[in-house]
Every structure is written in structure tokens, then in C-alpha cells.
Amino acid sequence: MAKIMIVDDDRGMREFLEIMLAREGYEVFCAASGKEALHLCRRDIFDLILTDLKMPGMDGINLLKEIKEMSPETMTVLITAHASGESAVAAMKEGAYDYIEKSFDVEDLKATIRDALAKRGVKKDDALFIKGLEEAVGYGDIIGKSREMQKVYSIIKKVADTTANVLILGESGTGKELVARAIHQNSSRREMPFIVVNCGGIPESLLESECFGYMKGSFTGASTDKPGLFEMAREGTIFLDEIGDLPPILQVKLLRVVQEKTFRRIGGSEDIKVDVRIISATNQELESKVRDGTFREDLFYRLNVIPIRIPPLRNRREDIPVLTRYFIDKYSKEFGKEIRKISNYAMELLMNYRFPGNVRELENIIERSVALETSSIILPENLAFSGNEKNGPESIQDIEFPAEGINLNNEMASIERLLIKKALDRAKGSKTRAAELLSISRDSLNYRIEKLEIH
């Protein structure tokens, strides 16, 4: 049972909230002032504090500062009769979960409290859930069993069935859309639409009409009314990818959707109310864009309610073998091949590569290698790496010897095949020159090419 404290100098408001929240099953405490609230906080730990912003003596923001020092995990929601963008940002900077106006809708307040308590749960170490994932290789369509990814799965599990806005952070190719889909698929909205909007891939002149739709005659070519993607996502989830590229004029419109759940079509005069879960993603540092004025601060705080940061592949190398096996199986089936293995040396090359393109790049490498491989095992020469990255260990000492041992003949054949192919490439196909580069005779080179089935 969550423990909630109501802080308000208005007795009628305190009693109304106390009765309402008690009926929802919460354990409720009340304080008539900031001073009384602090006294209660010194005696007990609260999951959430619902406080008025304007009170005699200590106001809600100063109370928030004091509470955060005493109990950083306690969530705070401010109630105000004089809401403004400035007061909202000030409250959120100090760590408030959200703010609502005193003319609030009861169901909206209940949803805000549920979401705030869910975020508090995210902050706690859910050791049992993570322990249960230790033997798993992924979560839904996301592959990876590293500790870093287990933490991501834990957050997805906790926030999926809330209405809280989620901001997914990570480099290109880390799988941000997969995380967004996992949140949607594990929520009560799973049967409703999941709509993807690429904020950086649609021209600015078209993005507004794509998102919000338009009315007939609102511009040249608007021959009929057209609903936008927010309307199409009704009761479902909308995924705003590359949110950092959203133009300023659309940032204002999106803020209205987030705050009021309403918008207007281009050329329209009526507000359209929409129930939609918003998940955003970016590979940029939005906080720096806020500082330089290119991204609205109030919108940032509204979108960044639950942040999920996906680690780059180079920081979770234990996931590389798991992902490699998954992609080999996937593309073997797709291409109708019987490839079920990767040579130890080829795996070592992958383990020593930095993967600037992350999981997406690994998938491309394995897809290509499966397509080109003529044997039943992925060999090093069919691994194609980015030209500006080294594609192997710096020396033989860098190669880790696997616990299960190796087949020396197969590994040496793989290395020999790779070196011969590189020599032929360097020699532009001339076997005579390639033999010179390898310090062997041309006859020896021909014998090795035939023996190793090099094409």
C-alpha cells in the first residue's frame, strides 16, 4: 500500500483529496503547512507527496527542496491555482514529478499519481526481476542478457502499463524503436495502434500536416479532410523518433498535446481531444539543446518523465555472442542455408570490434556473411567491417583462448584463407604478385587456393 501525504492550507481540499485517495486504497496522511509536512517526513518515509504550490510560510517548491534532501526517492506532485510554464519548469527542475491545476479532472489526478508511483518503483532496485532475467537471452524482440540490458528490461516492465511519457536515449543502431514497441506490447494498449513518426526524416513543411492532419481547403492540394498520425494513434501509442530534430513551431504544438491532450488540424477551428501514449527517442543530448535554446525546456521536462538509456554495444560486449547466434539463425532461415556456427577466430574479431553502428551494424555484418558463406560455418574472411575501424585484435596475444578449446586446423585454415584473400585483393587479382606478398611460390599459392576452396 503506497503511503501518500497531502499538504494544503485549504481544509476542504485536504479532506476531499484524503477521501478520494483512501478510496483508491492508499494510506493517506494530511498536513496543513510545509512546516507540519516536514515534521511528518522526519518521522516517516512517504512514497508520494501531493502539495499545494502557494501556501503561507513555506511554499510548495521550497517544501520540495527540503523533502528531496531528506528522502530523494519520494515523488512530489504540485497543485496550483495559478499554473504557468515558468512555475512548472521551476518545480520540475527541483525534482517534481508533475504539476496539476486546482481545476483538475479527478481521473487525470489518479492517473498522475499512479504514474508517479510507478516511476518511484523504477528508482528502486528490483533485484528479483533482474535475477529472473539472468538466464534469459532477451526480452520480447530485444536480444541481450547483459546486466545493463536487464536494467532496461526492468524499467520496461514497470512503466509499460502506465500513461507516463518515456524518453529513450541511445546512439543510432542501439534499438530504441524495439524498446518503444516492447513498452507498447506489454501495456493495456497492445491491441491499439503503434504509430512511428520520424521527426528527422519528414520535411518540416510536411511534418505538421502528417502529425496533426488538415481540413479541406486549408492549403493548395487539400481537397479533402485528412486525419493526422496523432488521430490515427488514438488509444494507442505514438513513437516520436529523433525528437531532437523537431522544429520549434511543432515543439509548441506538441507541448499542447502533452499538457492538454488536444490539438487542431491545419485550417481547423475545433479542438480534437486524443488519448495517446507518447514515447520519444533521440540520439542527441537534449539537455544541451535546451541550454542552447533549440529545444523547449518545458517540453523536455514533460517528455523526460521516465528516461531509458540504452547502452552502446561496445559497453555490453557479453551480448555480442548472443546477438551473433540470433542473427545467424535468422538469416540462415531467410536465405535457406544450414549455417549454425561462427568460427572462434571470427567471433574474436567481432569481440574486438568497436561497432560504431551498434546492433544494427552487427546485424548487417552477419546478414552479409551468411549470404556469402559457402560452408556451414561463418569464417573471418566473410566479415566486412567499417573502413575506419580496426577489424581484429592488435596482436595474437589479444586473442582469448575459449574454455571449451578450439579446432586448431580449422582456425589456422580460416586465418590462412583470410590472408590469401587479402593478398589477392592487394595484388588486384595477380597470383604472381600475391605469392610474392605471401613469400610463397605461385604453385604453392594455387595449391592452397584449391585446397581452401577460395573463390
pLDDT in the model for residue 88: 65
Do residues 241 and 178 touch, judged by C-beta distance below 8 A? no
pLDDT in the model for residue 134: 44
Do residues 328 and 378 touch, judged by C-beta distance below 8 A? yes
Q: Which three cell numbers stand for residue 405?
A: 578449446
pLDDT in the model for residue 391: 47
Q: What is the assigned CATH class of domain 143-311?
A: alpha beta
Architecture of the domain made up of 407-455:
Orthogonal Bundle (1.10)
pLDDT in the model for residue 399: 54
Q: What is the CATH number of domain 314-405?
A: 1.10.8.60
Calpha distance 30→40 (Å, rounded): 9
Nearest C-alpha neighbor of 52 from the set 65, 63, 44, 42: 63
Superfamily per CATH, domain 3-123: Response regulator (3.40.50.2300)
Nearest C-alpha neighbor of 372 from the set 387, 384, 386, 388: 384
Residue type, 122: V
Report helix, strand or coil for 289. helix
Claim: this prediction has a pTM higher than 0.85: no
Phi-psi sector, 242: left (phi>0), alpha (psi -120 to 50), beta: left
Neighbours of 201 (CB within 10 A): 10
The domains spanning 143-311 and 407-455 adopt the same CATH topology: no
Calpha distance 226→378 (Å, rounded): 50
Q: Which three cell numbers stand for residue 155?
A: 524499467
The runs of H, that is alpha helices, within 124-192 are 127-133, 147-159, 176-185
Q: Where are the domains of the chain?
A: 3-123, 143-311, 314-405, 407-455
Q: Phi/psi of residue 50, each to 5°?
A: -105, 110
pLDDT in the model for residue 416: 83
Q: Which three cell numbers stand for residue 310?
A: 540504452
pLDDT in the model for residue 394: 42
Q: Phi/psi of residue 10, each to 5°?
A: -90, 110
Do residues 323 and 174 touch, judged by C-beta distance below 8 A? no
Calpha distance 335→345 (Å, rounded): 24
Instruction: Report the helix count and the strand count for the chain, using DSSP H and E.
Output: 19, 16
- State the 10-residue block means of pLDDT for the chain, 455 residues long: 89 91 90 92 89 87 87 86 64 80 84 83 46 56 88 90 92 94 93 92 85 87 88 94 92 91 89 93 92 92 92 92 91 88 85 90 92 84 66 47 67 80 84 85 83 77
pLDDT in the model for residue 402: 62
Q: Phi/psi of residue 177, each to 5°?
A: -65, -35
Calpha distance 100→409 (Å, rounded): 70
